Amino acid sequence: MFGSRRSQTLEITILWTQFVLRCCSAVGNSAPKALSIPPSQYWDGNDGFWSTFGVQLGSPNKQSVRLLPGSNQGAVWVVHPQGCTSDDNADCGNARGTLVLNNRTQTWVEKGTYDLQLVEEEKLGYSGAGLYGWDTVELGWATGLPVLPQQIITEIATKDFYIGVFPLSPWPVNFTELDNSTPSLLSRLKNQSHIPSLSWGYTAGMHKHDPPVFGSLTLGGYDTSRFEDNKLNFTMGIDQSRDLLVAVQRITSSTTSTPLLSKPIYAFINSVVPHLWLPVSACEAFEKAFNLTWDATSQLYLVSSNVHQSLLQTNPTVTFEIGPSDTGENVKIQMPYGSFDMNASFPLVKPEGNSSLYFPLRRADNDTQYTLGRAFLQNAYIAANYEYFNFTVKAAKYPPNGAQQSLVMLPAKGTSNSKTRSGLSTGGVIGIAVAGGVIGLIAMFLIWFFLIKKRKSKQDSELLRSVEIGSDHVDRKELDGMDSAIAEADNVYQRNELESVAVRHELDSKGVKYHRLPVELPANEVAAHEFHTPTSTPYGSSPARTPTTTTSTAPYRHSLQRLWQSRGSGSEK
């Protein structure tokens, strides 16, 4: 009888253990992970061949578009039908990443026409307006990635930006006044637990690589298969509109011993624009080293076929030495000639249908224009962490398209800093398992106490009762044997004690209070798990500075006519 009871107890214990393990697995799988956005597998653009990324807009009729990552934008940019006119060729819509027709969707809500948020781009001569509104956005093309209803979108017609934008900024999109804003795509993904943190990793890919390699875009973390690791960390700039600010310590070329940059400069990394904007003296050094000619009409360095063939044969390499400051540690980003071998087409060069080889270098009039655009990101990988306002710049790698990724999530500020490639940290799973084990032990004890011990006590009571009524067939001498019956019925049992000393983990109370975050972040500092040494702050070598809030990011309202005013004559700068 007791054997069957013990079997039942063991059975219940096994079932309980399986239940606890399943709960642990469910919790681990439900935690947000880093998301990889698949490349569209198209090369798009009128200023080069760029690897784009796909999204779908609208509901129930979805429209698929191709976009380029915008490191400082919060709204999704798509091209309005009026972005293609009678002056454009018949393939204009496809060339611009597909036109969006908002009358085909039932979920479009119009806000109005406003200037694009171009704080840094305006310094380079870019301009434009967009028709803002909200619609459903699905990341990827039917890949099972998150769907965001009522996401902020702007439809553009200007040709200053030929392809739409996939936004990476965490900052909200403001309309005229600061209290009239809407969350960015990145912050909504975090707030809805689709990604673990306000972070991303990106490299542009390279069309002229042999073979061509598509770009890589990760939200909530980064992809270690796409870069050569280093321990160099950068603190974001105090101006949120120039947060990805780096020191260009030195630029050299394999064709000459003379540096192409005479003294260090600070430049802003901006994936929205394609070119490298450097001091005039540096541009003149490039002209001499590569036999370049400045074309005043197109404002580009056009490359003749003879010069192009010569550069293909010599295949010179330009090396950028990038660091957090103008001296000290740096990372070397090597750019072969293929990274500068670009094609410009209408409306950058005219007439329509013509294509010209050009070198993606632009003359900067002053230090506010110093910019490392998308061309630089062909050979560099940047991982930005807005939880701690730090980022890294690493030399890009070029695994074959479709190769296995190695995604690493970056946790939100104030959460576990354990490095993990899955949703829940190992410590979290162990903690849940230990708690489940303790509960299982308690359950076993209760089962033993109520099912077995009480039954034995009942049997002893019946035995004693038979003695008290004087049953003739009972041997009283046997009952007096203290070594058997009473000892077995004794209710003394041994308790399994658990260690009651809990270890408290104190967090550093020296928090930094940041202004105008898109989401509320805990103030206490927690070391991040990646890109830092044991003595450094998370994701950087010094505490992150509090970013200042600029007021020039708000778009201003215009009439609908303002949106299309440059459609026929505009050109990407």
Q: What are phi and psi of 332, to 5 degrees?
A: -95, 120
Name residue, tokens 């784009």: 52
434 within domain boundaries: no
95 within domain boundaries: yes
The structural domain count of the chain equals 1
pLDDT for 436 equals 53
Per residue in 512-564, pLDDT tens?
Answer: 333 333 333 333 333 343 444 333 344 443 444 433 334 334 444 444 444 55
pLDDT for 1 equals 52
pLDDT for 414 equals 87
17 within domain boundaries: no
219 within domain boundaries: yes
User: What range defines the domain where residue 54 resides?
Assistant: 35-426+550-564
pLDDT for 504 equals 40
23 within domain boundaries: no
pLDDT for 449 equals 56
Strand 63-70 with 164-167, pairing: parallel
pLDDT for 136 equals 98
482 within domain boundaries: no
SS3 sequence of 95-160 = HCCCECCHHHCCCCEEEEEEECCCCCHHHHCCCCEEEEEEEEEEECCCCCCCEEEEEEEEEECCCC
pLDDT for 457 equals 56
525 within domain boundaries: no
Q: How far apart are CA 204 and CA 293, in angstroms?
A: 27
Signed CA dihedral, 428, 433, 436, 442: sign only: negative
pLDDT for 568 equals 45
Q: How far apart are CA 521 and CA 519, in angstroms?
A: 6
- CATH code of the domain containing 95: 2.40.70.10
524 within domain boundaries: no
Q: Residue ranges of the chain with pLDDT lower than 70?
A: 1-30, 177-179, 352-353, 416-573
